[in-house]
């Protein structure tokens, strides 16, 4: 079975950059939500292996052996990546303005946060 790698960007910009980078590497979007995207890079097996299977089995199985090999490779060797946006913002306890978790002071009212 294939394993799913997880990438956890902290900002929307980094989230979109990771998705764009993976798409340029040949990944396809499988699911896309507001805070997570699952991408997959399918593997169907090598051409040489398909030719060998065809020569030894394909001519009398009507290519069923090749289809089984293709399905096996797709399920077991495809690479999956889950890009999940982690929460990096909070609310100021004084004015309820949106702040970053690493902020020491609120940028709206100046209240000390930590």
pTM over 0.75: no
Q: Please list the pLDDT of the chain residue by residue as tens digits (114 residues).
A: 567 899 999 888 899 999 999 999 999 999 998 889 999 999 999 999 999 999 998 778 888 999 999 999 998 999 999 999 887 677 888 898 888 777 888 889 988 887
Q: Quote the longest CA-to-CA distance of the chain.
A: 78
The two three-digit tokens of residue 40, written as one number: 């997959």
Per-residue pLDDT at 63:
86
Q: Are 9 and 15 in contact (CB under 8 A)?
A: yes
For the chain, give every domain's residue range. Answer: 4-87
Per-residue pLDDT at 1:
54
């Amino acid at each position: 079975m294939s394993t799913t790698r997880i990438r956890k960007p902290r900002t929307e910009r980094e989230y979109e950059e990771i998705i764009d980078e993976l798409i340029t590497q040949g990944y396809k979007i499988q699911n896309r939500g507001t805070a997570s995207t699952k991408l997959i890079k399918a593997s169907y097996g090598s051409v040489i292996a398909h030719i060998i299977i065809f020569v030894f089995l394909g001519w009398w199985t009507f290519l069923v052996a090749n289809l089984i090999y293709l399905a096996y490779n797709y399920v077991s060797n495809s690479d999956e990546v889950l890009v999940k946006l982690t929460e990096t913002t909070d609310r100021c306890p004084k004015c309820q303005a949106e702040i970053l978790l690493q902020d020491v002071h609120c940028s709206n009212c100046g209240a000390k946060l930590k």
